Amino acid sequence: MSEFHDDYPQYEFMAQHSEEEGKQARKKLWGVFWIMLVVTIVELIIGFQASDWGLLNEDRTSSVVLKVLFIGLTIGKAYFIVFSFMHLGHEKKWLKWSILGPYMIFIVYLIGIIVQEANYSKVHKEKMDELIVDQKNRLNEEAKSGHHSAEGKEGHEGKHSEGEHPAEGEHPAEGGEHH
């Protein structure tokens, strides 16, 4: 019986590994697990204490330091997952870079887009707030007037009040909106 007290055959021997190699592999995987657990706990502590530690801006949004810290810790965890659990750490250098290179470029690109969009909405906050409030008010008015009611699906296509007729040659379902 194995050290895990199960009836499963020794997988070390099934994979042509010696008992010692199997113990080393398990020890390494448990080491990575504990490192990732510690990093996750550190992330949680930072998240809960960010306000007390002054890592938030005046409007209670994340500061650049907090964002960089979380992105760095997440990339560190991703490194341990890829290199240990996906066994990329044992490959040749050119293979590592041929696999990781495109992903790294894509991640940097995504981070750039996120930072640019976050900056845009922060710089244009008043304009964005106006647009959002106007849109919400318009949707509320449409909902009150019954414009988007459940009967509206079939009610607008075939029914017209007096004086409203589709243009010649235009089918009611094809043309513009008819009320």
Mean pLDDT by 10 residues, the chain (179 residues): 60 63 82 91 93 85 86 87 80 86 90 82 77 88 74 47 50 48
Both tokens assigned to 23:
């113990």
Rounded to whole angstroms, the Cα distance separating 172 from 179 reads 10
- Residue 64 and residue 28 in one domain: yes
Judgement on whether residues 76 and 40 belong to the same structural domain of the protein:
yes
Domain limits for position 104: 91-147
Looking at residue 130, what is its pLDDT?
84
Question: Are 21 and 61 in the same domain?
Answer: yes
Work out how many domains the chain is built from and give that number: 2
Q: Which of 162, 141, 159, 161 is CA-nearest to residue 151?
A: 159
Q: For residue 41, is it within any domain? A: yes
Looking at the structure, tell me whether residues 95 and 73 fall in a common domain: no
Indicate whether 75 and 2 sit together in one domain. yes
Place of tokens 């042509």: 16
Q: What is the pLDDT of residue 152?
A: 45
The reply to whether 2 and 82 lie within a common domain is: yes
